[in-house]
């Protein structure tokens, strides 16, 4: 079974031109089939401030009203996505930009308004991999932004970590899927003040005890819930850490397995 690498990058890479270019060098050099998922970084918030649009966040999650959805569609699916695709083409990686609406790849349902009305935010319902499979077979690399659709004409803002794990799950019976979350830390840390206290391996069994011991808290919880869910749905492995983990076996990072 071929390996498929699904890689998600966050704002710390997207917001830094030098970091993004060096990451894309690494990504372009990966020879196996691959898919890239990116979040929105700080650009949407900066533009909202410039346009006088109020940015509303609850528990670190953006409330997406109609005006905000228009803005993030322009930023995520437009500026950021096309910039990444253009840079990959310059590095001889034939890429094509996607939202979940393109090729009907990711269908979501609008999140329920109770207990919090997040607006036009989607929770993934279904992933359709047929179009993506054809592209991968022809050595074309899909690049996803954090937007999906509801099959009724409505775009929805959707968590990029979730999109990455749902795509990995969708491909799990056709490929040995490996899911990588690249962010600014070396991995999951036992002590958040010590960058070297990386937990090298987490299993679906040890995960619960790390929560009980309050090692995994706050923003790390939803990220790791996505990881463990993906492993339980037959994704081969999930890795969390800095982009070096993609090419350096000696790098410090966290691997999550069954």
Strand residue runs (E) in the chain: 3-9, 34-38, 57-58, 61-62, 95-98, 106-110, 122-127, 141-144, 147-149, 155-157, 176-182, 201-203, 237-241, 254-257
Residue 94 known to bind ligand: no
Q: Which of 158, 179, 70 is nearest to 107 (CA)?
A: 158
Q: C-alpha distances in angstroms, 89 versus 27, 49, 141? A: 12, 32, 10
Residue 41 known to bind ligand: yes
Residue 62 known to bind ligand: yes
DSSP state of 106: E
Residue 83 known to bind ligand: no
For the annotated binding site for substrate, the residues are 40-41, 62, 157
Feature table: binding site: 40-41, 62, 157
């Amino acid at each position: 079974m071929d390996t498929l690498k699904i890689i998600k990058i966050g704002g710390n890479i997207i917001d830094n031109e030098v970091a993004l270019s060096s990451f894309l060098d690494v990504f372009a050099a990966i020879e196996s089939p691959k898919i890239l998922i990116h979040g929105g970084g700080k650009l949407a918030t900066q533009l909202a401030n410039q346009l006088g649009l109020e940015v509303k966040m609850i528990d670190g999650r953006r409330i997406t009203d109609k005006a905000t959805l228009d803005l993030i569609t322009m930023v995520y699916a437009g500026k950021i996505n096309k910039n990444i695709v253009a840079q990959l083409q310059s590095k001889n990686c034939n890429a094509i930009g996607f939202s979940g609406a393109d090729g009907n790849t990711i269908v979501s349902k609008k999140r329920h308004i109770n207990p919090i009305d997040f607006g036009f935010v989607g929770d993934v319902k279904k992933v359709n991999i047929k179009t993506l499979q054809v592209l991968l077979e022809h050595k074309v690399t899909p690049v996803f932004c954090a937007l999906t659709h509801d099959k009724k004409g409505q775009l929805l803002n959707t968590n990029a970590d979730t999109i990455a794990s749902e795509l990995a799950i969708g491909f799990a019976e056709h490929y040995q899927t490996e899911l990588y979350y690249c962010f600014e830390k070396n991995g999951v840390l036992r002590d958040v003040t010590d960058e070297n206290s990386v937990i090298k391996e987490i299993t679906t069994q040890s995960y619960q005890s790390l929560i009980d011991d309050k090692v995994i808290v706050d923003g790390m919880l939803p990220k790791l819930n996505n990881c463990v869910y993906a492993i339980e749905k037959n994704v081969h492995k999930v890795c969390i850490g800095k982009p070096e983990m993609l090419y350096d076996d000696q790098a410090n990072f966290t691997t999550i397995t069954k």
